[in-house]
Amino acid sequence: MTDALGYRVTVLLFDGVEELDAIGPWETLRFWQVLTKRDVVVRTASIDGRPVRCGMGLMVTPDGAVDDGPRPDLLVHPGGAGTDLLRADQGHLSRLRSLAAGGTLLASVCNGSLVLAAAGLLDGLPATSHWGVLDELASRYPGVDVRTGQRWVDAGHIVTSAGVSAGIDMALHLVDRLEDAEMARSVAHAMEYPWSPQTPVTTPVGNGEV
C-alpha cells in the first residue's frame, strides 16, 4: 500500500446522483475491503458532508465531506442528473484537477465522465460513458478519444465506464488492477456477479498504483 494510512477510496455522492452509479462501485470496493488482507478503506463523501437525495429518490447520508481527511488514492465520480451542476462548478472542477495532479486515481461512471472532461482531464485520452451521452461527450469535448461498445476504458491515471451497471465491471477491474485477478474474481463471486477481466483498452500505468 501507499503508506501507513492504507489505500484510501472515496465514492462521491451528490444531489441527483444515479443510485447504482455510486452504490454499485461502493459495494464492490467494500467487498474488496472485507476480503483483502491489504489495508483498504472505502468511504462515501458528499461535497459538504450533508445527506444527498439521489436521482431516483433514495436519501443517503455520507461518511463525510469530500475534502475531509487525507487525499484519497482513488476517487469514484458517479453520474446522474446532478452532474449538470457539477460541470459548471468551478470549485469542483478545480478540486478534481488538484486531486489528479496529486496522484489520485480518478474513475467515473456514466456521465460522470462529462465532469472529468469539463475539468480538462480527459483531453487526449480514450474514454467512454453512457451510450446516451457519447455524442455529447464527443461534440462538447473534441479532445477526448471517445470509445464506444466498451464497459470501461483504463487510461492509466483515469478510468471511465459506461452507464449504471458498468460501474460494477469497472470497480472489479480496479480490484484486478490494484491487487490481482484472483481477488477480483473472489469479489465477483461474493456478489454473485458475472465478470471477465478482458477489455480492449487497458494501460494500468502511472498514478494510482498500490
Question: In the structure grid, which three cell numbers stand for residue 131, read together?
Answer: 451510450
The three-class DSSP label of residue 141 is coil
Considering only CA atoms, which of 186, 195, 208 is closest in space to residue 31? 186
CB atoms under 10 Å from CB of 209, counted, come to 15
Write the CB contacts of 200 (distance below 8 Å, at least 6 apart in sequence): 147, 150
The question of whether 54 is a catalytic residue gets the answer no
Considering 45, 110, 125, 155, which one is annotated as catalytic?
110
Taking the C-alpha atoms of residue 124 and residue 108, their distance in angstroms, rounded to an integer, is 16
Considering only CA atoms, which of 12, 22, 143 is closest in space to residue 68? 12
Paired strand residues for 121: none
Q: 56 — alpha (psi -120 to 50), left (phi > 0) or beta?
A: alpha
Question: In the structure grid, which three cell numbers stand for residue 178, read together?
Answer: 490494484
Active site residues: 110
